[in-house]
């Protein structure tokens, strides 16, 4: 029996009533050992996690407390924006009584400021920090920092600060006092927004994942008798991928099983913590657990083929990847055993199109916003044409798309006024006063395209072919309107897509399969939205889809279908391996991404750290932010996190791995060139 087998057996056979950590790299067998260990437990009293949302719901049920309905971060951010409206209306009493100055760093930039505030609140919720605790920490940190400020003339600080930010270190006592006042006001504003957000989700009975778990922890802490019932119900818990646990999730486990986590088995890889924030940061998830079993990496990992490629342009890189993948498929590798990995798949059209051009079916998953996918937009357009034909952006997409296929000249004709249109009975006042210079305002501008399409006012000015296309679309739309009145929403959507969408390619082709996958995902979202919002009409769904297209929180899960090559973000590849993997974009700015700090940071010791200076400031950055970035080595920590993600991605290919980049490498001073580092390591 080899060492790995002995370690596996030990992890399985150790007593279940003690806390145990099973750690090891990818494919070391830790998940199999965890599952085998769980089979020894009594099913009725065992938890198989990490479905912490379901656990939180059960805890609320046992305590007789209503559990918040889970919402995703997109909806959570929208609630925070709504809760912060009084801030931008200056409706808070603190403003009227001059206790808070609203002129603080970043507040005027509403979307950017509130997006940063929401991310901070998610971190605070995952760390079980309340608004009052946050404010107390922020004020204490500000007082401690400004009471004894650091030496801003330190040579090391100056040397490691970029030239354009060195002026932020030239501060006197009066300037520091001014920055202190603004920082205190910023902390109060954020605490008030946090309170308003908690009030909003409590009123509606909803919450994000962080909120639901935090509410379960609070419910146990507030009900000692109920806590005993919860502890009696659960005897053991088994958690995979424990390196991604948030502090709130660990707090929920401790609330149930005690501070020593007796009966809890955690399995994971501390070096594979990929989440950008809100986690216990890998190794911290396993801290305090006395018993620990470490499984070694599989010996087969050393037999992989690793190759590198640097192309001149991103387009050339995409073509090279497509050729490599097509060769693997032609050689007999199932498409489902091939993956193209990127740090982010938010913008991945180049690689996807290159693969589709070679007729390789492909799916994109991870931090991918499907509502910005051109196939999804094409599918939403005819639905918008039914709901609001005067939304001309969607009408133009339909008219210029492959289903109707009008030329630019025909579209321009439909957008123009009819030549013999009757003059207005009453002229506008400015036209009467200055007939030589009529008003540029056009009262019919926002209606003309939709009106011409629906009523056919410009049909006579179109070519015979264009007129026939518009008339056919008009007739189809009339049928859709009637179908909307008579059919269930799901049947209506299928009817519109059957009539109003052109096939992306021949049946069975890669482009046709990609279009069908996009429609299945969108249809599943429509069904889920209707289930969460009973009675919602088509307009509400379309408006929600439009709002989600601008969100940074949209995610798409990969489908289990061997017909597709997968294009995945690193997070979406967690726990999955492939026979062949391609790691694309391994250059500065793509992987790793450039370090872009938030509008403000939060430190448990220094409190709030605003980035933007305001008021009578002579520089754009605050002295505290410049010092904080230097002292904490924030950029180095960020790059170290990106390197861990890169190393994790390197383990996803079992047989071969191709690492690619494009463009000329930088010097790698501020942001490392990971492909060049790998090439040096490979020799």
74 and 203 assigned to the same domain: yes
Cα distances (Å, whole numbers) of residue 257 to 42, 235, 260, 267: 16, 8, 7, 17
Is 634 in contact with 595 (CB distance < 8 Å)?
yes
Judged against a pLDDT cut of 80, whether residue 568 lies above it is answered with yes
pLDDT of residue 139: 95
- CA-to-CA dists, residue 78 to 135, 323, 514, 674, angstroms: 23, 43, 31, 37
Q: Are residues 586 and 626 in the same domain?
A: yes
Which of 239, 272, 298 is the endpoint of a domain? Answer: 298
Six token digits for residue 569: 């973000």
467 with 514, same domain: the answer is yes
pLDDT at 415 over 60: yes
Question: Do 400 and 529 belong together in one domain?
Answer: yes
* 88 inside domain: yes
Same domain, 200 and 229: no
Number of domains in the chain: 4
Q: 172-207: per-residue pLDDT in tens?
A: 999 999 899 889 989 999 999 999 999 999 999 999
- Same domain? For 33 and 17 the reply is yes
- Cβ atoms 62, 332 nearer than 8 A: no
Q: How far apart are CA 231 and CA 3, in angstroms?
A: 36
pLDDT tens-digit readout, 257-298: 988 899 999 988 887 776 654 344 566 778 878 788 888 877
Distance of CA 542 to the CA centre of its chain: 20
Instruction: Give CA torsion, residues 350, 353, 357, 358, to 10 deg.
Output: 80
> Does 553 fall in a domain?
no
Residue 590 lies in a domain: yes
Q: Are residues 97 and 8 in the same domain?
A: no
**CA–CA distance, 565 with 558 (Å, rounded to integer):** 10
pLDDT 10s digits, 81-116: 999 988 877 767 666 555 666 667 667 788 888 999
pLDDT at residue 25, as a whole number: 80
Q: Give the pLDDT of residue 271.
A: 72
User: Which 3 state secondary structure label does DSSP give 555?
Assistant: coil
Task: Say if residue 45 is in the same domain as residue 84.
Answer: no
Residue 442: per-residue pLDDT: 55
CATH number of the domain at 630, please.
3.40.50.300
End of a domain among 272, 298, 324? 298
Q: Give the lowest-confidence range in 88-92, 225-229, 415-419.
A: 88-92
| Cα–Cα nearest to 185, from 135, 112, 132 | 135
Asked whether residue 659 is assigned to any structural domain, the reply reads: yes
Here the CATH number for the domain that contains residue 477 is 1.10.486.10
Domain limits at 159?
A: 70-208
Residue 214 lies in a domain: no
The answer to whether residues 156 and 281 belong to one domain is no
Percent with pLDDT over 90 in the chain: 56
**In terms of domains, do 345 and 383 share one?**
no
- Average pLDDT along the chain: 87
Do residues 424 and 438 touch, judged by C-beta distance below 8 A? no
Q: Are strands 20-23 and 291-294 parallel, antiparallel or unpaired?
A: parallel
> Same domain for 338 and 443?
no
562 and 592, same domain (yes or no) = yes
Domain boundary among 548, 581, 610: 548
The pLDDT tens digits of the residues spanning 353-375 come to: 999 999 999 999 999 999 999 99
Asked if residue 92 belongs to a domain, the reply is yes
Q: Which of 145-154, 284-293, 600-609 has the lowest mean pLDDT?
A: 284-293
Contact 49, 265 (CB under 8 A): no
Cβ(469)–Cβ(424) under 8 Å? no
A 10 A CB-CB count for 226 gives 17
Dihedral-angle region of residue 110 (phi above 0 means left; psi in -120 to 50 means alpha; beta otherwise): alpha
Q: Is residue 401 within 8 Å of residue 457, measured between CB atoms?
A: no
Round to whole Å and give the CA distance between 35 and 570. 24
Secondary structure of residue 517 in the 3-state scheme: helix
- Note whether residue 603 is domain-resident: no
Asked if the structure places residue 608 within a domain, the reply is no
- The CA dihedral of 84, 88, 93, 94, to the nearest 10 degrees, is 90
């Amino acid at each position: 029996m080899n060492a790995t087998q002995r370690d596996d057996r030990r992890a399985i056979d150790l007593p279940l009533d003690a806390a145990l950590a099973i750690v090891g790299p990818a494919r070391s067998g830790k998940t199999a050992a965890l599952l085998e260990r769980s089979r020894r437990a009594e099913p009725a009293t065992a938890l198989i996690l990490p479905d912490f949302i379901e656990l939180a719901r059960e805890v609320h049920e046992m305590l007789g407390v209503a559990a918040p309905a889970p919402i995703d971060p997109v909806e959570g951010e929208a609630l925070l924006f709504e809760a912060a409206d009084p801030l931008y209306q200056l409706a808070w009493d603190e403003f009227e009584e001059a206790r808070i100055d609203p002129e603080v760093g970043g507040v005027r930039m509403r979307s950017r400021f509130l997006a940063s505030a929401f991310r901070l609140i998610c971190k605070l919720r995952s760390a079980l920090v309340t608004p009052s605790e946050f404010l107390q920490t922020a004020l204490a940190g500000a007082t401690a920092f400004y009471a004894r400020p650091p030496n801003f003339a330190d040579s090391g600080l100056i040397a490691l600060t970029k030239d354009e930010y060195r002026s932020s270190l030239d501060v006197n006592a009066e300037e520091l006092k001014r920055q202190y006042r603004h920082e205190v006001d910023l902390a109060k504003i954020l605490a008030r927004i946090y309170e308003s957000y908690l009030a909003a989700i409590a009123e509606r009975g909803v919450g994000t994942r962080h909120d639901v778990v935090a509410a379960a922890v609070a419910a146990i802490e507030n009900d000692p008798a109920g806590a005993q019932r919860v502890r009696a119900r659960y005897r053991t818990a088994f958690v995979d991928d424990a390196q991604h646990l948030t502090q709130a999730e660990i707090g929920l486990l401790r609330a149930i099983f005690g501070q020593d986590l007796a009966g809890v088995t955690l399995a994971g890889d501390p070096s594979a913590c990929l989440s950008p924030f809100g986690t216990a940061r890998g190794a911290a998830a396993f801290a305090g657990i006395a018993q620990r079993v470490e499984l070694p990496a599989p010996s087969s990992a050393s037999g992989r083929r690793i190759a590198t490629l640097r192309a001149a342009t991103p387009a050339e890189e995409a073509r090279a990847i497509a050729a490599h993948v097509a060769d693997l498929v032609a050689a007999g590798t199932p498409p489902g055993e091939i993956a193209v990995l990127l740090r982010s798949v938010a913008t991945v059209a180049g690689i996807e199109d290159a693969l589709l051009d070679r007729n390789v079916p492909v799916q994109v998953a991870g931090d991918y916003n499907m509502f910005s996918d051109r196939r999804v937009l094409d599918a939403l357009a005819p639905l918008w044409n039914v709901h609001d034909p005067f939304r001309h952006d969607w009408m133009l997409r339909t008219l210029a798309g492959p289903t109707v296929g009008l030329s630019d000249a025909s579209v321009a004709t439909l957008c123009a006024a009819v030549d013999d249109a009757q003059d207005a009975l009453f002229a506008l006042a400015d036209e009467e006063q200055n007939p030589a210079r009529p008003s540029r305002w056009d009262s019919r501008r926002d209606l003309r395209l939709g009106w011409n399409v629906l009523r056919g006012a410009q049909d006579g000015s179109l070519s015979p072919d264009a007129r026939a296309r518009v008339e056919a679309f008009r007739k189809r739309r009339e049928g859709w309107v009637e179908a909307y009145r008579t059919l269930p929403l799901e049947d209506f959507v299928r009817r519109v897509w059957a009539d109003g969408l052109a096939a992306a390619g021949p049946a069975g082709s890669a482009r046709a399969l990609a279009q069908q996958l996009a429609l299945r995902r969108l249809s599943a979202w429509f069904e889920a939205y209707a289930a969460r919002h009973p009675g919602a009409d088509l307009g509400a769904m379309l408006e929600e889809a439009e709002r989600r297209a601008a969100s940074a929180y949209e995610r798409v899960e990969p489908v289990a279908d061997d017909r597709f090559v997968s294009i995945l973000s690193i997070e979406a590849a967690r726990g999955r391996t492939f026979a062949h993997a391609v790691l694309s974009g391994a250059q500065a700015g793509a992987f790793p991404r450039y370090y872009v700090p938030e509008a403000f940071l939060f430190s448990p010791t220094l409190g709030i750290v605003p980035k933007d200076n305001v008021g009578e400031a002579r520089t754009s950055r605050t002295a505290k932010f410049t010092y904080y970035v230097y002292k904490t080595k924030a950029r180095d920590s960020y790059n170290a996190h990106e390197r861990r993600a890169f190393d994790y991605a390197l383990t996803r290919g079992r047989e071969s791995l191709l690492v690619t980049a494009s463009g000329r490498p930088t010097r790698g001073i501020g942001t490392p060139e990971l492909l060049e580092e790998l090439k040096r390591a490979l020799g």
